[in-house]
Structure 1
């Protein structure tokens, strides 16, 4: 199949998956790691596999379906309300995570969903989700190096 966009269809599916995770986390006021773990690998694979379909649907309806299916309860984490500066959109954060997850999958030679689970469960997720820091708009190669070193360098 010919690639007519700037990135492959699967990269776009990963972008949507990460953006939906962020959207659900904001909507339920949970950390991204808590949201990812509540969704579980099976739902994450479903989102990733059907992202081209879900992307055409209303994101509120799609997110509500997964919130209900995974039994995600409302938490008290609200990095949007705590942000003192310009708030990145769920699409902005989806792009950050997509790039990092893709790099981790390639570097560690693992499946994309396994890389997604590793990244969101690593220390760097809380750093990216702190919108009062600069981590979410750092260079993708820097984020990868921090992830690989398991610390901010």
Structure 2
């Protein structure tokens, strides 16, 4: 996998995180709006779209896919400093790269963002997003947070 492909995965993960925060949705809810083909397209467009603001790209996707507002507000409920979209995007990128098969990035993104792990990471009042990425990978593979 090239560095460009890894950067594209990072961008799409950040974009999903941004959209989820903006619309106050669970990350699992956001990923359901996109088909694998849609994500493959976003990965292809990432190199161009990263020159635009997340606000602009997310507004277009929210409108194009009719993404509705939810009530999962992880930012305002956070009692501590909220981790940046890019910090969380990097964590998701690491997870996608660790679990994807045959360089199928779109499916890896779907698999990670459809899992329980996203609500765990999105609880900014916990320390899950600061934990070792390998612990998160093992927890994801086990289907629950390991003790």
Query: TM exceeds 0.5?
Result: yes
Residue of structure 2 in register with 1:134 after alignment: 127
Residue of structure 2 in register with 1:39 after alignment: 34
Q: CA deviation at 1:109?
A: 4.2
Residue of structure 2 in register with 1:51 after alignment: 46
TM-score of the superposition, structure 2-length normalised? 0.93
Residue of structure 1 in register with 2:117 after alignment: 124
Question: Could you say what secondary structure the match of 2:75 adopts?
Answer: helix
Residue of structure 1 in register with 2:17 after alignment: 22
Q: How does 1:1-153 map to 2 (within 5 A)?
A: 8-105=3-100, 108-109=101-102, 111-153=104-146
TM-score of the superposition, structure 1-length normalised? 0.90
Whole-angstrom distance in 2 between the partners of 1:42 and 1:26: 23
Which structure is richer in relative contact order (CA contacts within 8 A, separation 6 or more)? 2
Query: Which ranges of structure 2 fall in alignment gaps of 5 or more residues?
Result: none
Greater helix share, structure number:
1
Whole-angstrom distance in 1 between the partners of 2:47 and 2:112: 23
Root-mean-square deviation (CA), in Å? 1.3
Query: Which ranges of structure 1 fall in alignment gaps of 5 or more residues?
Result: 1-6
Whole-angstrom distance in 2 between the partners of 1:150 and 1:59: 31
Matched positions, count? 145
Q: CA deviation at 1:43?
A: 2.3
The superposition leaves residues 46-75 of structure 1 with CA deviations (integer Å, 9 ceiling, x where unpaired) of: 111110100001221111110011110111
Q: CA deviation at 1:42?
A: 2.7
Q: CA deviation at 1:110?
A: 5.9
Residue of structure 2 in register with 1:3 after alignment: none
